[in-house]
Amino acid sequence: MNWYFKVLKNYGVFIGRASRKEFWFFFLINSVISMLLIFVDYGLGTIDEGAQLGWISGFYVLATALPTFAVGVRRLHDSGRSGWWLAIGLVPVVGNLVLLVLFLLESNPGENQFGHYPESEPTSMLKL
């Protein structure tokens, strides 16, 4: 849960780097909270059938949009890429697959143009 709160505290920080662990733990916790809030919306009847989005889950998605964007940029920085690579996600299907691969890539050890290596990265993670 600390990784989730760390990203929320750095909600507007687009400089520096985010380790895979920080990014993926935030993604996991954020996804679980989103799914739970969708169930709450269905239970309370606050789902808009046309948009398939509820008031509570919609507010949560809106509130976490900036931190999600920021941690994505920092994750790309960690592998030595510009945050502008997030724009490739606008290309249907292929763009999201490319982003998935980029988010899974191993960190650049040491310092790169975006800052110091986030040393909390475990060595047992997937290496591509």
Sign (positive or negative) of CA dihedral 4, 5, 8, 9:
negative
Residue 73: the pLDDT is: 96
**pLDDT at 125 > cutoff 90:** no
Residue 119: the pLDDT is: 66
DSSP secondary structure string, 13-67? --SS---HHHHHHHHHHHHHHHHHHHHHHHHHT-EETTTTEEHHHHHHHHHTHHH
Backbone angles phi, psi at 47, to 5 degrees: -85, 135
Each residue's pLDDT tens digit, 14-61: 999 999 999 999 999 999 999 999 999 999 989 887 777 899 999 999
Residue 113: the pLDDT is: 85
Each residue's pLDDT tens digit, 92-103: 999 999 999 999
- Any idea where the domains of the chain sit in the sequence? 2-104
Work out the number of other CB atoms within 10 angstroms of the CB of residue 32. Answer: 11
Q: How far apart are CA 30 and CA 119, in angstroms?
A: 23
